Amino acid sequence: MLDVLDFIADRGGNPEKIKKSQRRRYANPDVVDEIIAMWEDHRKTQYAATQINSKMNDLNKQIGAKKKAKENADDLLKQKADFDKEKKALLESAALKDIALQAKVKTIGNIVHDSVPISDNEDNNAVLRTWAPEGVVVEKKENVLSHHEVLLRIDGYDPERGSKIVGHRGYFLKQWGVFLNQALINYGLEYLMGKGFTPLQTPQFMLKEYMAKTAQLEQFDEELYKVVDGGAQNDKYLIATSEQPISAFHADEWIIAKELPIKYAGFSTCYRREAGSHGRDAWGIFRVHQFEKVEQFVLTDPEKSWEMFDEMFANSEGFYQSLGLPWYVNASYTGAIGLKTDFTAVHQVVAIVSGALNNAAAKKYDLEAWFPYQGEYKELVSCSNCTDYQSRALEIRFGTKTQTDVKKKYVHALNSTLTATERALCCVLENYQTEDGLRVPEVLRKYLPGAPEFIPFTKELPKDSTSEKAKAKATGTAEKGAKSKVAAAGEAVAQAGEKIKNMAV
């Protein structure tokens, strides 16, 4: 959340800057004025309560004098009781007003960084750079399998029994599917440890008190699963990313400059309801309710967070380059520019537009990888600098307290996917398939039993598989077109014959 004093001009704040950021987010800037009015109302109520203290001090002196003189002080004691009652009411009112004020402040997103593309349409995400392995041509291929079909053919997962037991998007990984997923986990953790990150396996659920400080309100309804345990005070929420518990790992702590940066390689199973994604990526393991993820999470000196943002994204790029996967990075864009829609050349890094940023992020880059069956890039990585937005809500302070401090200082928090392993596995399966099986990326081989270079297909696809349906549809369309041409040609011949007959007559 933002500091409430950032809204108050005579307390060093800049309300116009916040309004500008709100407009960039395509959010209501008038809320800023509402917050200022609420702050002023709270301040006046709090001040009125403190003014009663001075009145009570005078009254207590008078009561003391009367008692010393052994005079009746009943009237003064009644006034004191009235003051106590009035003060209590004012303090209760001030507390309620502060709760309402803080809740309103939490609805305001982080200050959007000046480099973020301004748009509320993700089609305007800006392509920053691209990469592909040498000699690789990125193109949609007709005679390849979708990732889930490759996984079926190596007997790597069972979606039917998974759906029967779990429901929609349920699955079992099995055999090579298990080992490939574990290989991505182990390689990811080892990769980050080599870059100075501390591996951290997180809890899979959190108390609402802490989840509310790191997740947006709408996430509770659209994304998070709730675990009910007796009374409401015991309710917990399953995590959607290890960023959530790690962000709270240092809650209510002071961190001095020499201890920074603190870099964690978070590993966890993650759970997402995907309530807003009905019908998207409905088959396979790309978009599922339960998956594993290795996450970068870093706390930094506020002056060095943008440096760290670049470093963290470079880590993710390096990871996917080491896997040999074609990818692109996406960035938000300000203005109207035509972007390629066929994506037949290379992968790209993309900056996310201002209107698509979540509240905590000041800036976000995505890394999207090429899926040859679908002929499109799909998101594998999101990297965000949340500056002091999360750390303020969680009271993770920066530096040492001094008497001259006007405002509290907080560390900056950044997060970036390294690998959501089921998604990364989908990309590996589509890009490394052959006619006979799956080539194993070199960096993953040592994590598999027997370190195989190749995993052969052992199962046939069902007749109603995704690629078979697509082929049948394409064949049917082609046959229909051919029949139409034959019919048209026959009709033309008949018409020509009729003309010749008429001429002879």
C-alpha closest to that of 159 among 291, 283, 287: 283
**φ, ψ at 346 (rounded to 5°):** -150, 175
Q: Are strands 412-420 and 290-300 parallel, antiparallel or unpaired?
A: antiparallel
Structure-derived torsion over alpha carbons of residues 68, 71, 74, 80, reported in degrees to the nearest 10: -30
**42 marked among binding-site residues:** no
**374 marked among binding-site residues:** no
Is 433:454 a contact under the CB 8 Å cutoff?
Answer: no
**295 marked among binding-site residues:** yes
**491 marked among binding-site residues:** no
How many angstroms separate the CA atoms of 350 and 368, rounded? 8
How many angstroms separate the CA atoms of 262 and 413, rounded? 10
**415 marked among binding-site residues:** yes
**381 marked among binding-site residues:** yes
Alpha helices in 277-351 (DSSP H): 305-323
**289 marked among binding-site residues:** yes
How many angstroms separate the CA atoms of 320 and 129, rounded? 14
**50 marked among binding-site residues:** no
What does the DSSP assignment read for 361-372?
-SEEEEEEEEET
**288 marked among binding-site residues:** yes
Strands (DSSP E) contained in 337-396 are: 347-351, 363-371, 376-385
Tell me, what DSSP letter sits at residue 200? Answer: E
**448 marked among binding-site residues:** no
Instruction: Assess whether the previous peptide bond of 302 is cis (omega < 30° from 0).
Output: no
Structural element, H or E, at residue 86: helix 74-105
Structural element, H or E, at residue 211: helix 208-214
**431 marked among binding-site residues:** no
**204 marked among binding-site residues:** no
**332 marked among binding-site residues:** no
**144 marked among binding-site residues:** no
Tell me, what DSSP letter sits at residue 122? Answer: G
How many angstroms separate the CA atoms of 447 and 425, rounded? 14
Letter for the amino acid at 465?
S
How many angstroms separate the CA atoms of 28 and 363, rounded? 19
Q: What are the distances in angstroms from CA 12 to CA 6, 41, 45, 391?
A: 7, 19, 22, 20
Angle at 88 between CA 87 and CA 92, to 5 degrees: 115
- Sign (positive or negative) of CA dihedral 395, 400, 402, 406: negative
Which residue is listed with tokens 């499109």? Answer: 376
Instruction: Assess whether the previous peptide bond of 159 is cis (omega < 30° from 0).
Output: no
Residue list for the binding site for ATP: 272-274, 288-291, 379-382
**Residues annotated in the binding site, as ranges?**
241, 272-274, 288-291, 295, 379-382, 415
Annotated binding site for L-serine: 241, 272, 295, 415
